[in-house]
Amino acid sequence: MVADRGRLLRLTGSVLLMALIPAAAHAQTRAETLRQVTGNNIPTLDPTTPGATREAFGVSTSIYDRLVAFDRKRDENGVWVFDRSKIRGELAESYEVSPDGLKITFKLRDSKWHDGTPVTAEDVKWSLDRAVTAKSIAAGQMGTGSLTKAEQFAIVDDRTITVTLPQADRLALANLATPLAPIFNSKLAKQHATAEDPWAQEWLKTNTAGSGAYTVEMFKPGEQLILKRNDNWKSGRDGKLPYFKRVIEQTIGDPATRANLIEKGDADIAIDLQASDVPSLQQRGKVKVESSPQTNGFTMIAFNTQMAPFDNLKVRQAIAMALPYSDMFSAAIFKRGLPLFGASWTSPPNADFPQPMPAKTDMAKAKQLLAEAGFEKGFKTTFSINVGSAAVTEPMAALLKEALAKLNVEVDVQKLPDSQMSTQITEKKLPFFTEGSTAWLPTTDYFFRNFFTGNQRWNYSSWNDELVVKLANQARFEQDQAKYDEMGKQMIAEYVKEVPLVLLWQANQDAVMIPQLDGYTYWFHRQVDFRDLARK
């Protein structure tokens, strides 16, 4: 009966995939159409909208151009990955950073909006003003690169604009390459602005004003999106148009159904299948899998350093030494990723973060530290996990609970819905939990500023170490690479000493696709960039 139900789900997925596609899309040949299936949804077309999903961020890169974009490179396994060290022009034909790092000048391409009108510096200024002024999720991100005021953006002429900085910030240019810095057709957007909504935020949730590689042909929020190639696009690598004339992205909740659609060739790619299913898909040989560790992120276990007993350093050290790292790595993600434990160094070998840390299981030392902390008889605590990631977090939590019982630490595993867990993390109410996160701009100072300083949602451990706060805020403005690296090593050493959280691993991003698909790239926003892909 269960097998029959699974078969019905897979057949239903196939029928839905075809039924929701309009006749115009059917007219395109299979070779010209890319089909992605996802378990999540696209609630908005404006990536700066509060509540925008990762899928919305990914899609926006095909609809909207930014001034600049990160380049890409091959990793050691031959998979394309983003290259944060190289930034190329996108809507900008070229850019120049002044010797003192305080001014960036952009020269625009002779580009057109989707409606055929020219892209001008006026549009760019309006868009950047919007990013730092409107009530959206863009302003906070832009601020990490010292982009905070509309007065910083100045028009020189129709195709030249400058950005002025109060200090030479290492991440100013990189911020303009994120999905939160799209350039809008200001004249079109203003037609739909109101006194209450001067930035046309409501209209842009379900409509577009872009110049990107694709236009929107159909959008059903939470269900499906169909894109059509913009044959007048000029911002591609080497001026090339994307291979696919149409892209269909559809939400299908059941991962088995998504996997079956790829195997049958009814869909081309999925990037959110369960890690436990990927090995068997590979073994059957009907799909291609390209995997890359999420190098700009981490999975971790967090202690609330402001809440007893985890405000006690020796308690944190004891728990860290009791964790069954290798067993959790195997049970939770089947070793599909890069472990961030087990290193043997005593001082940081380099300034990269995250990197494998000198964390190892040592139960005898853990018992000694807990006794020194005054908890020889143990204590009781909760350990919170996200129900949405239960396939990963439940086996991890079971092993943690078993290991800590050997220290007389009684763990009550709490399974929380995503929204509830997010709220409690934000309100700093959880004493002990696991979470995963990524950083769009993965430099060491960015990681430490966002995850280890301030009263902010992403400072999971509520850790505010005086030395780290000082160094993180200095490093962002340090132009001398040797001095920057020394600051990074000091921050990493302080992290190891104080154990505000425990890094576990960087899970693989597994892109499962038909064998004929080529060009997949792991991007910092962890979504497919349709412009990269081609059919062999």
Residue 7: partners with Cβ closer than 8 Å, 6 or more residues away: none
Asked whether the predicted pLDDT for residue 501 surpasses 70, the reply is yes
Tokens of 201: 């935020």
pLDDT (tens digit per residue) in 204-240: 999 999 999 999 999 999 899 999 999 999 887 777 8
pLDDT at 13 over 60: no
Alpha helices in 334-389 (DSSP H): 363-372
Confidence grade of residue 10 (pLDDT, cut at 50, 70, 90): very low
pLDDT band at 16 (very low <50, low <70, confident <90, very high): low
Within 43-170, residue ranges assigned H as helices are 54-63, 121-133, 138-143
Containing 414, the helix (H) or strand (E) segment is strand 409-416
Q: Which range, 16-30, 360-374, 414-428, is most confident?
A: 360-374
Block residue for tokens 């805020």: 473
Query: Does residue 8 register a pLDDT over 60?
Result: no
Residue 298 pLDDT class (50, 70, 90 cuts)? very high
Q: Contact 289/489 with Cβ under 8 angstroms?
A: no
| 265: amino acid identity, one letter | G
The 8 Å CB, 24+ separation contacts for 258-261 are: 258/13, 258/37, 258/38, 258/39, 259/512, 260/10, 260/13, 260/14, 261/10, 261/13, 261/14, 261/17, 261/37
Rounded Cα distance, 459 and 500, in Å: 10
Residue 372 pLDDT > 80, yes or no?
yes
pLDDT of residue 331: 96
SS3 of 478-522 = CCCHHHHHHHHHHHHHHHHHHCCEEEEEEEEEEEEECCCEECCEE
Residue 5 confidence (pLDDT) above 90: no
SS3 assignment, position 203: helix
Which pTM was predicted?
0.90
Per the prediction, the chain carries an average pLDDT of: 93
Give the model confidence (pLDDT) of 36-56 as tens digits: 999 998 999 999 998 888 999
Asked if 287 and 262 touch (Cβ cutoff 8 Å), the reply is yes
Burial label, 353 (beta-carbon count in 10 A; 0-12, 13-18, 19+): buried
| Cα angle 355, 442, 505; round to 5 | 35
Look at residue 7 and tell me whether its pLDDT is greater than 50: no
User: Is residue 179 scored above 80 in pLDDT?
Assistant: yes
β-bridge pairing 501-513 and 288-293: antiparallel
The rounded distance, in Å, linking the Cα atoms of 345 and 298 is 20
Label residue 416 by pLDDT band (50, 70, 90).
very high
Rounded mean pLDDT, 435-449: 94
CA distance 66 to 91: 6
Q: Is 202 helix (H, G, I), strand (E, B) or coil?
A: helix
Q: Contact 359/325 with Cβ under 8 angstroms? A: yes
What number is the average pLDDT over the span 359-375?
98
Calculate mean pLDDT across residues 261-271. Answer: 97
C-alpha atoms less than 13 angstroms from C-alpha of 198 in its C-beta half-sphere: 9
Residue 95, CA distances (Å) to 76, 108, 161, 235, 491 in order: 30, 9, 10, 14, 33
- pLDDT, average across residues 252-264: 95
Residue 120 pLDDT more than 60?
Answer: yes
**Residue 189 near residue 114 (C-beta atoms within 8 A):** no
What the block records as the tokens of 140 is 């906070």
Rounded CA-CA distance 529/293 in Å is 17
pLDDT score at 236: 78
Return the pLDDT at 28: 54
Q: Are 198 and 133 in contact (CB under 8 A)?
A: no
533 CB-near residues (< 8 Å, 6+ apart): 34, 242, 243, 244, 268, 269, 517, 518, 519, 520
Confidence of residue 11 (pLDDT cuts 50, 70, 90): very low
Q: Residue 474: which residues within 8 A CB-CB, separation 6 or more?
A: 487
- Kindly indicate the confidence band of residue 30, based on its pLDDT and cuts at 50, 70 and 90: confident
**433 φ, ψ (degrees, to nearest 5):** -160, 170
What domains appear along the chain, each with residue ranges and CATH number?
A: 1-62+212-287+514-536 (3.40.190.10), 65-194 (3.90.76.10), 297-507 (3.10.105.10)
- The dihedral through the CA atoms of 13, 14, 19, 23 has a sign that is positive
- Which backbone phi and psi does 299 adopt, to 5 degrees? -105, 140
Checking if the pLDDT of 33 tops 50, the result is yes
β-strand 103-108 against 160-164: which pairing, if any?
Answer: antiparallel
